[in-house]
Amino acid sequence: MLKRLLLPCSFLLMSSASFAQNEDSLMIRKLYNEALLRGQSYENLRYLCKRIGHRLSGSPQAAAAVEYTYQVMKQFCDTVYLQECWVPHWVRGDKEIGRISSVRQGAVNVKLCALGGSIATPAAGISAEVVEVRSFEELDKLGKKGVQGKIVFFNHPFDNTHIFTFHGYGEAVRYRWAGPSLAAKYGAVASVTRSVTNTIDDHPHTGSIRYDTLYPAIPCAAICTRDAEVLSEIIRNEGKANFLLQLNCRTLPDTRSYNVIGELRGSENPEQVIAVGGHLDSWDLGEGAHDDGAGCVQSIEVLRLFKAAGIRPKHTLRAVMFMNEENGLRGGLKYAEIAEKKKEKHLAAFESDAGGFSPRGFGMTMKPEQRSKVLSWKPLLEPYGIHDYGGGGGADIGPLEKQGVPLFGLHPDSQRYFDYHHTEIDVFEAINKRELELGGAAMAAMIYLIDRHGL
């Protein structure tokens, strides 16, 4: 008798689970259809890149981007507001000059750019012998005797054996970030770093540095990889070379800026938040299309997709345009600070900051049981190309980790990202409309599942 009673119960449970999964599948399809047929992220990005342009923290363009995204989200969000944060204001100044003095080739002009936060050279520039190192260990071996009064050339190539190119970036970027101060430790007068990219090209890649207060601040620049190869070859063939470096940058007082926040209020648990964001600031060489205009418009699009598809979230959905990820993380830190002060409950936080390429999955930072629940949804997302669940969250949402918030970082295909990263060619034309729209839809789909089933 008991066996006969259990069979219908089991059948009902299986039917209920099957029905829920089918409903989820239909709603995810609805979100994707809206994104692919009527998506607005591409045109929003066009305006951000072409009408506003680069958006370095403290610049007039950054202020214009704050106003623009505020107005865009007002069209469909229940609430839009600004969150004040004070940001660094570094200015590049006139175009930089780099020149190799070669015994055999004479003067060889190279393409380089100041690294973000660098001090300027004297007006006439700095001219000195250049010494090449491929690691910090080589620098240490040279010591003060081999470095003092010279320009250190950090020539650490990207490791192209990594399939996920961010792993190669993580290994190489430390020479940009910490190299100038470690060179100054031994008396270098300036440093030049091989651009952090897996390509050989003519585009110098900028990025931030950190001056260690224990050592003097020295001017520092990134040289394009093609000219890094030229410089290395001259040193190898001739034994040494001189280098002229002229930078015109300066740091101004900190400037008031804002995170821009839009919300769709939850119908059942409005006090619980699912956040999704990108960083509104960008470097000043291009238009910040992949880094990170794409992430901003995708995050805005997540909320619009819910609204347009007629999906009323149970929890409050919040799109955050973070300010100052590139050279300070002030926006991300301020957001986490206020969330903690207000005792806000975040169910999850998402970030898109890896380019507007085809989405492949999500990096996740969370408890094992939460990760297991996310992985149980794989069959619902695999038809849309979402299959990679390795890695972690992102920089702007990172400060939320200590509050126990589960973090998700959208993982687009990474193969081409470092062609554009922090360069003059990171422009709107480098974005594919369909790939961009798929990224926003992927985040909307995962957020839908969390909103419906929790973590």
Per the domain annotation, does 5 fall within a domain?
no
Structure tokens at 9: 């119960």
% of the chain residues with pLDDT over 70 = 96
| 354 and 372 inside one domain | yes
| 364 and 422 inside one domain | yes
Per the domain annotation, does 398 fall within a domain?
yes
| 291 and 438 inside one domain | yes
Here the CATH number for the domain that contains residue 192 is 3.50.30.30
- Classify residue 383 as exposed, middle or buried by CB count within 10 Å of its CB (0-12, 13-18, 19+): exposed
| 418 and 445 inside one domain | yes
| 305 and 426 inside one domain | yes
| 80 and 98 inside one domain | no
Asked if 64 and 52 touch (Cβ cutoff 8 Å), the reply is yes
Segment 207-215 mean pLDDT: 98
| 284 and 433 inside one domain | yes
What is the predicted pLDDT for the residue at 8?
54
Task: Give, in order, the Cα–Cα distances in Å from 92 to each of 116, 256, 351, 423.
Answer: 8, 19, 28, 14
Give backbone dihedrals phi and psi of 310, rounded to 5 degrees, phi first.
Answer: 75, 25
Q: pLDDT per residue over 292-303, tens digit each? A: 999 999 999 999
What is the DSSP track for 362-431? EEEES-HHHHHHHHTTHHHHGGGT--B--S---TTTGGGGGGT--EEEEEE--TTHHHHTTSTT-SGGG-
Q: Of 248, 266, 288, which marks where a domain is finished?
A: 248
Here the CATH number for the domain that contains residue 52 is 3.40.630.10
Specify the 3-state DSSP secondary structure of 354: coil
The pTM (predicted TM-score) of the whole model is: 0.94
Per the domain annotation, does 15 fall within a domain?
no
Q: pLDDT per residue over 124-149, tens digit each? A: 999 999 999 999 999 999 999 999 99
**Helix 294-308 and helix 433-453: axis angle, to 10°?**
60
| 202 and 278 inside one domain | no
> pLDDT band for position 19 (50/70/90)?
low
| 239 and 298 inside one domain | no
- The rounded distance, in Å, linking the Cα atoms of 293 and 295 is 5
Judged by average pLDDT, the poorest of 7-16, 195-204, 266-275, 355-364 is 7-16
| 401 and 264 inside one domain | yes
- Return the H-helix or E-strand segment holding 439: helix 433-453
Mean predicted lDDT score pLDDT of the chain: 95
Per the domain annotation, does 282 fall within a domain?
yes
Specify the 3-state DSSP secondary structure of 43: helix
Q: Of 228, 248, 268, which marks where a domain is finished?
A: 248
Per the domain annotation, does 1 fall within a domain?
no
Specify the 3-state DSSP secondary structure of 156: coil
pLDDT at 212 over 90: yes
Segment 423-436 mean pLDDT: 98
| 126 and 143 inside one domain | yes
% of the chain residues with pLDDT over 90 = 94
Per the domain annotation, does 203 fall within a domain?
yes
Outline where DSSP puts E strands in 239-374: 241-246, 250-264, 269-279, 315-322, 345-351, 359-365
What is the predicted pLDDT for the residue at 391?
84
What is the predicted pLDDT for the residue at 284?
97
Name the residue range of residue 372's domain: 31-90+253-453
Q: Which of 34, 96, 301, 325 is catalytic?
A: 325
Q: Of 213, 248, 283, which marks where a domain is finished?
A: 248
> pLDDT band for position 6 (50/70/90)?
very low
Domain count for the chain, please give it: 2
* Residue 132 known to be catalytic: no
Q: pLDDT per residue over 67-122, tens digit each? A: 999 999 999 999 999 999 999 999 999 999 999 999 999 999 999 999 999 999 99
> pLDDT band for position 1 (50/70/90)?
very low
pLDDT at 12 over 50: no
| 366 and 243 inside one domain | no
Per the domain annotation, does 303 fall within a domain?
yes
| β-sheet with 315-322: strand ranges across | 79-91, 250-264, 315-322, 269-279, 345-351, 407-412, 359-365
- The rounded distance, in Å, linking the Cα atoms of 315 and 302 is 14
Asked if 257 and 87 touch (Cβ cutoff 8 Å), the reply is yes
Q: Look-up: residue for tokens 């003097």?
A: 216
Per the domain annotation, does 234 fall within a domain?
yes
pLDDT at 9 over 70: no
Specify the 3-state DSSP secondary structure of 149: coil
Judged by average pLDDT, the poorest of 305-314, 390-399, 410-419 is 390-399
> pLDDT band for position 21 (50/70/90)?
confident
What is the predicted pLDDT for the residue at 189?
98
**Helix 433-453 and helix 2-38: axis angle, to 10°?**
150
